Structure 1
Amino acid sequence: MQTVYKKKSGIPASTGDNNDNIKYDMVVFCHLRWDFVYQRPQHIISRLAKSLKILLIEEPWHRPEQEGSRLVEVAANLHILQPNVYHIDEIAGILPQYTNKNTATGWFYSASFLPLLDYFDFDTVVYDCMDELSLFKGAPEKLVSQERSLMDRADIVFTGGKSLYESKVKHHENVYCFPSSVDRDHFSKALNGLAIPEDIVTIKSPIVGYFGVIDERINLDLLKETAILKPEVSFVMIGPLAKIGEHDLPRLHNIHYLGMKDYKELPGYLKAFSIAMMPFALNDATKYISPTKTLEYMAAGKPIISTAIYDVVRDYSEDVTIISNSGEFSKAIDAMLANNNVLNPTDYSDILEKTSWDVTVEKMQAIIKNTVK
């Protein structure tokens, strides 16, 4: 028998298809760990869980030192299954211990979970395409064909940005664009008397900062070259490494890596930023991205410098300074610092008032309700 681990104490898992404890309204398949960087899946699924009982299944995480898989209760209506197996195909073998096959909605964040689709009898299948995962470093070749099959069987496709929408709408008749939104109340805490965390308060100002995953999407050469040009400026990178190693990171006296931080702590770090940056590389992995952090930086009232990510350029070019090389990056920093490091937060109000995760989820739920078979 498997074990359900709540936040502090363990309780036995239920078995048997007729047990009420394992009847979920929605099963979510997610390639990102729930405890990883807090982003689109966490924002959307936590809100859906206010009215639906949800099981979120993560990718396999084989841990030989642990017996059985782990079910974590994040909230009364939200459980996270961490399968202790080698491959996605093996997850089907443990599912009877956690859920039955009759579930109203199947929600996919990655087509890699396609082998599990036939295990369930879903009324509605949703594909929330937040990234073009097939273009990411290390993506399996079969992911393209798996996505094609998933879209053939999906009733609804949501996309995390306009570029993704334009790509997917060619292959499905029921596609809706829902760019990542923002928890404005959370990030606007950076505008009040919030304390600045100790590991950044000691870093010399001015600070040009970034938070998010640090992976092949970050232009590390641009970061290094700009840091050389601006030795009096501190460049702070907050977030975990993914698919790159410590040896890949540029090391200079004015570049600081603070590691991964809890979502709750981010407003405090944002408060310490003089300028917020998005130093993305322009490559296959960033071709379709629509960075959530753009709006999060705005909610904190920070001036923003970004490389020419397509969705950022066409949606926010009047509000974000777009640069293409270290020279332009350096000049943009000088111009912003000459403006006393401050951008009036009301300058972003028109943008921020048009978006919220709550409204996004409400609209998604309405679409699902109208599409139910």
Structure 2
Amino acid sequence: MNLSSNRGAPCSPFRLVWFSEIQWDFLSTRKQRLLCRFPESWSILFIEPFALRRRHHWIPVKRGRVWVVTVPFLKSVPFRIGRLLDLPLLRWLLSLPGILLMLFWVTILGFGSSNRIIGLSNIYWGRVAALLPCRLRFYDANDDHLAFPDNPHWLKGSLDHYLSKVDLLFSVSRELTSRLRVPPGVRLVDLGNGVEFSHFAISRPRKPAALSRLKGPILGYAGAMDWLDSSLIAATARAWPEYSIVLLGPAYEREWWQKQAAINELPNVHYFGKIEYSELPAWVQHFDLALMPLLSSDLKRVSHPNKLYEYAAAGVPVLSMNYCSAVERAREVLHVAVSQEEFVRMVPEALADRRVEARQAFARQHSWDTLAAVMVQELEKASRERSL
């Protein structure tokens, strides 16, 4: 690995430092899908957080053309140590090692120039990212991070301070944008979420061995476990004991599966954990029915689930709770329930849905290629305007 390779090359017109709230290799999200599609003329540094019991990159690694490095920051500090972190001076002192490590790698990798672009989705870095000299600053609003449980009260100030310095804001939904304190004059782009269409649409006829061993139709969910409505999964499993319910995906909460007393003892519910993104289409395509049994909450109401488009690209029928506007707008190609009882009752109807072409045509409209092109166009336009 040649960490100084960027220095000897001609200066690219765009250098982007992105502060992420999620690790590059932990879960495939919109950040990875978008950044992988940026043009060759862009150099990108992705700063990921530290998290217990996960893979880290203390020495930078390349993911395609993107540099990835782990830098611990305040999010890693357990807030149960008391109210000491309410003191701004103490917060800065505890943040200092992470700040210095970040500045070290930013400099070594050739991203130290004030001509860079700063992007943020990890709001714990808000005040620091707002101080870094740059050509352009933007915020990627992919979740209502202030609605997450156990947030410290000072986190809102970190986000608001950063928003006061941004030139551009991308958001997954208008509902989320409306919750943010965005100054007048900031350009707002409702980018939404998308899908790597061909990755999920190309036929994978070989069924994973683990699915082949299950009985009856397979009702499957693929995504993060933490927003799953376990009581709804339990009700569905009990109502349809001849069907197998498959859960695929990681959990942020440690020992999540062991704590799910409502479902982990049911014989027709099977949790397989995280599936590598490269292998995921082979699993999803062999679902007889794809499920979106997510909790309805303030956090999820402003979300825009890319799993909706992944399911649709795979061609499988979809049954979802009506928990956000993106689901409501997709009623023509999926089945939507407004209550747990209706969700359970609609399973046979949804299983019988054969509108494969309609679902795939819908998914194709939301490809990551299109969304990445929009993001790049907006960033380049705003960057050039700032340079005038």
Q: TM-score range by the shorter chain?
A: 0.7 to 0.9
User: What amino acid is aligned across from residue 281 of structure 2 in structure 1?
Assistant: P
User: What amino acid is aligned across from residue 90 of structure 1 in structure 2?
Assistant: P
* Aligned counterparts of 2:338 and 2:36: Cα–Cα separation in 1: 37
Greater Cα shift, 204-213 or 92-101: 92-101
- Residue among 103, 116, 136 paired with 1:124: 136
| CA displacement at 1:107 relative to structure 2 | 0.9
The residue that corresponds to 2:45 in the other structure is: 55
| CA displacement at 1:45 relative to structure 2 | 1.2
Note if 1:97 corresponds to 2:104: yes
- Residue among 257, 276, 295 paired with 2:309: 295
User: What amino acid is aligned across from residue 31 of structure 1 in structure 2?
Assistant: E
Residue aligned with 1:263, SS:
coil
Note if 1:160 corresponds to 2:168: no
The superposition leaves residues 279-306 of structure 1 with CA deviations (integer Å, 9 ceiling, x where unpaired) of 0111233121111100110001111111
Please list every run of 5 or more consecutive structure 2 residues that lacks an aligned counterpart in the other structure.
77-93
Instruction: Indicate if the aligned counterparts of 2:20 and 2:122 stay in contact, CA closer than 8 A.
Output: yes
Map 1:170-181; keep pairs closer than 5 Å.
Answer: 171-172=183-184, 173-181=186-194
| CA displacement at 1:47 relative to structure 2 | 1.3
The residue that corresponds to 1:201 in the other structure is: 212
Residue aligned with 1:368, SS:
helix
- Residue among 219, 224, 230 paired with 2:240: 230
| CA displacement at 1:309 relative to structure 2 | 1.4
The residue that corresponds to 1:41 in the other structure is: 31
| CA displacement at 1:50 relative to structure 2 | 3.6
Instruction: Indicate if the aligned counterparts of 1:134 and 1:141 stay in contact, CA closer than 8 A.
Output: no
User: What amino acid is aligned across from residue 218 of structure 2 in structure 1?
Assistant: I
Moved beyond 4 Å, runs of 4+: 12-15, 18-24, 84-89, 169-172
Distance 1:121 1:263, change over 3 A: same
Instruction: Indicate if the aligned counterparts of 2:314 and 2:360 stay in contact, CA closer than 8 A.
Output: no
Instruction: Indicate if the aligned counterparts of 1:88 and 1:115 stay in contact, CA closer than 8 A.
Output: no
| CA displacement at 1:21 relative to structure 2 | 7.4
Distance 1:89 1:304, change over 3 A: farther
The superposition leaves residues 92-126 of structure 1 with CA deviations (integer Å, 9 ceiling, x where unpaired) of 21234322331421111122112432563210011
Instruction: Indicate if the aligned counterparts of 2:204 and 2:281 stay in contact, CA closer than 8 A.
Output: no
| CA displacement at 1:88 relative to structure 2 | 4.9
Greater Cα shift, 355-364 or 122-131: 355-364
The superposition leaves residues 323-354 of structure 1 with CA deviations (integer Å, 9 ceiling, x where unpaired) of 233432222112233x2xx5222112442342
Note if 1:71 corresponds to 2:60: yes
* Aligned counterparts of 1:73 and 1:323: Cα–Cα separation in 2: 43
| CA displacement at 1:56 relative to structure 2 | 0.5
Instruction: Indicate if the aligned counterparts of 2:322 and 2:328 stay in contact, CA closer than 8 A.
Output: no
Instruction: Indicate if the aligned counterparts of 1:280 and 1:309 stay in contact, CA closer than 8 A.
Output: yes
Greater Cα shift, 259-268 or 117-126: 117-126
The residue that corresponds to 2:158 in the other structure is: 146
User: What amino acid is aligned across from residue 319 of structure 2 in structure 1?
Assistant: I
The residue that corresponds to 1:307 in the other structure is: 321
Identity among equivalent pairs (%): 22
User: What amino acid is aligned across from residue 214 of structure 1 in structure 2?
Assistant: M
The superposition leaves residues 146-199 of structure 1 with CA deviations (integer Å, 9 ceiling, x where unpaired) of 11111110110000123223334865531110110111111012xx24312112
Residue aligned with 2:129, SS:
helix
Residue aligned with 2:354, SS:
coil
User: What amino acid is aligned across from residue 194 of structure 1 in structure 2?
Assistant: P
Instruction: Indicate if the aligned counterparts of 2:164 and 2:182 stay in contact, CA closer than 8 A.
Output: no
* Aligned counterparts of 1:26 and 1:104: Cα–Cα separation in 2: 6
User: What amino acid is aligned across from residue 226 of structure 1 in structure 2?
Assistant: T
Instruction: Indicate if the aligned counterparts of 2:127 and 2:162 stay in contact, CA closer than 8 A.
Output: no
User: CA RMSD of the aligned region, Å?
Assistant: 2.6
User: What amino acid is aligned across from residue 298 of structure 1 in structure 2?
Assistant: A
| CA displacement at 1:214 relative to structure 2 | 0.3
* Aligned counterparts of 2:343 and 2:125: Cα–Cα separation in 1: 40
| CA displacement at 1:14 relative to structure 2 | 4.9
The residue that corresponds to 1:6 in the other structure is: none
* Aligned counterparts of 2:100 and 2:360: Cα–Cα separation in 1: 50
